[in-house]
């Protein structure tokens, strides 16, 4: 039986994200995530300006008039959500932990996908694969995906992005759109990223808490690494300590963005202290602009 609190949370996410998908992201999603190509739709009588290469000679011979084949975009795609549930996602210095933003972003992307008749699949991971849900269509399936995220009880604590990316290559042979929703706090995943991004349209969605970018001045503090359990005493009142921390974070971000740039991977950062829809909408606008040859 699903706990009442979880049902309430599911209902809140369903209402919020389905509305956002309909009102703010649907058009952008449709325009930048293409299906597998063009599919035959029908034949109709030739009209001036039609491409003669599409004349259907068999139908034209039977009807004694010229008919052409009409094609439409084959919209159906597979969207895979690779969702990080490591212990670092439980961290939160604002109103809620990162994992709740992760769940909402994943739900929003899933609702955007099913609105366009796409299939949605899920890979939950930590330092191991925690759960794989094969792609399917429909609102009920999306709610199952969100339930799996919110109701998960991970066995692992650490983060290994490689296990999710490698599984994606194993279960999804045809090209898919894959959103990697994570804080991206991990090591040694460049090779897996390179392989996955060559085969799929891979988009890392980094979820960031403001306290992960800069240390507050609260004097001596005992800081725990949620994934390793390591404790470290830090003098946050020392400006040099805070500058060193901010500098390390900025360097790691620059290295990550350079990697994405080399591989031609689109990415977006969402923060727990700001609305996430504008960041996703800007990602869609950026992709659409590039597809039209303006960027």
**pLDDT value for 2:** 56
**pLDDT value for 74:** 53
Of 69 and 14, more confident: 69
CA neighbor of 159 nearest in space, from 122, 201, 200, 187: 187
Distance separating alpha carbons of residues 196 and 193, to the nearest angstrom: 5
The region of weakest confidence among 1-10, 60-69, 246-255 is 1-10
Percent of the chain with pLDDT over 70: 80
**pLDDT value for 234:** 77
Q: What is the DSSP letter of 279?
A: H
Could you count the other beta carbons within 10 Å of the beta carbon of residue 4? 8
pTM greater than the 0.85 cutoff: no
Of 285 and 168, more confident: 168
* Coil, strand or helix at 153: coil
Distance of CA 259 to the CA centre of its chain: 18
CB 43 within 8 A of CB 59: yes
Domain ranges of the chain: 4-32+76-291, 37-74
Of 168 and 235, more confident: 168
Mean pLDDT of the chain: 82
**pLDDT value for 227:** 62
Which residues 6+ apart lie within 8 Å of 183 measured at CB? 84, 88, 89, 98, 159, 206, 207, 208, 209, 212
Of 5 and 191, more confident: 191
Distance separating alpha carbons of residues 153 and 74, to the nearest angstrom: 38
**pLDDT value for 87:** 85
- Residue pLDDT, tens place only, 235-254: 778 888 888 888 888 898 89
CATH architecture of 4-32+76-291: 3-Layer(aba) Sandwich (3.40)
């Amino acid at each position: 039986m699903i706990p009442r609190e979880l049902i309430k949370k599911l209902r809140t996410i369903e209402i919020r994200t389905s509305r956002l998908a309909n009102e703010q992201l649907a058009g952008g999603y449709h325009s930048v995530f293409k299906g597998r190509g063009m599919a035959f739709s029908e034949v109709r009588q030739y009209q001036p300006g039609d491409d003669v290469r599409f004349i259907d000679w068999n139908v034209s011979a039977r009807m004694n008039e010229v008919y052409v084949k009409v094609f439409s975009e084959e919209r159906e795609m597979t969207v895979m959500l690779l969702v990080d549930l490591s212990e670092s996602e439980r961290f939160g210095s604002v109103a809620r932990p990162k994992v709740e933003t992760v769940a909402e972003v994943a739900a929003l992307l899933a609702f955007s996908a099913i609105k366009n008749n796409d299939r949605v699949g899920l890979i939950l991971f930590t330092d191991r694969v925690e759960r794989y849900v094969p792609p399917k269509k429909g609102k009920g399936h999306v709610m199952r995906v969100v339930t799996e995220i919110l109701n998960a009880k991970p066995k692992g604590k650490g983060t290994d992005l490689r296990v999710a990316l490698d599984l994606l290559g194993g279960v999804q042979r045809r090209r898919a759109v894959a959103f990697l929703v994570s804080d991206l706090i991990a090591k040694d995943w460049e090779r897996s990223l390179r392989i996955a991004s060559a085969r799929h349209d891979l988009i890392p969605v980094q979820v960031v808490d403001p306290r992960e970018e800069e240390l507050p001045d609260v004097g001596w503090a005992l800081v725990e690494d949620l994934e390793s359990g390591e404790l470290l005493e830090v003098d946050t009142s020392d400006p040099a300590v805070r500058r060193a921390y901010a500098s390390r974070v900025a360097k790691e971000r620059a290295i990550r963005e350079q990697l994405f740039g080399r591989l031609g991977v689109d990415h977006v950062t969402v923060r727990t202290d700001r609305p996430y829809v504008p960041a996703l909408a800007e990602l869609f606008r950026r992709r659409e602009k590039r597809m039209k040859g303006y960027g």
